[in-house]
Structure 1
Amino acid sequence: MKNISHWIGGAEVEGSGRTADVFDPATGEVSGRVHLASVAEVDAAVAAAAAAYPAWRDASLVKRSRVLFRFRELMDAHAGELARLISAEHGKVHSDALGEVARGLEVVEFACGIPHLLKGGFSEGVSTR
């Protein structure tokens, strides 16, 4: 049975000790267990995100976009595995789950182009006002 924990500050965290069952929507059977977070664990996750933000904020758009491109490459390389996870967790047939992965890839590809969209260009003389 799969065990779903938290990822906080670059490390796996089991959680508060409380768990909840995860069900396979196609069969109704328990397929895993998710660890529930306490208030302290949520606070730790927020603090870790806040601590990581300044470095991400100060990274150039090129560096950020390289991270997104690498993420896109990983999504593409693992599309079949991602589709299997979507099928198991949402009850979708495999072909529909592959479509969800493809739509996710499109979103990441759009985000990869953000440096171009943030150039701040404008066009003169496109209106009479």
Structure 2
Amino acid sequence: MSTPGHLVWRLSMKWRVAVDRALAPAGLTHAQYVFLASLLDLQRDHPPSQRELADHTGLEALYVSKLARTLDADGMVERTRDPADTRTIRLTLTDRGREVVEPAIATVGTLLDRLLAPLGGRRADRTAALTRELTLLLDTPLEGA
């Protein structure tokens, strides 16, 4: 019998592979998609820092920095120094980045619909319960365990 940890691992790998395959025609990896889609969401309030984006996505700060440089070179992201703290780099999605990520969000949404269909779809009570349980697990610290 599989453990919950093993099942979480398998589901996360299944999801990552499916997103990578679905977004390959757009030239995006799963990590680049998470970066760009999260940036689109976060920048509604203000241009987030690389650290804020890392915290939001769960990606390592060093990896976010590497992705930011790559996506900046590809013209999808603009990186600027924060005038109040020049150590902080703020991120903004460019028009090109928006043109790439918006259809990618729709593609991933279709995948999500397929994934959640056995639970009744995105708005189903079972999906809401799963979301609450996963959030609880994600909020549980493992450091020092």
TM-score higher than 0.5 here?
no
Which has more radius of gyration? 1
Name the one with the larger helix percent: 2
TM-score, normalised relative to structure 1: 0.36
Name the one with the larger strand percent: 1
TM-score, normalised relative to structure 2: 0.33
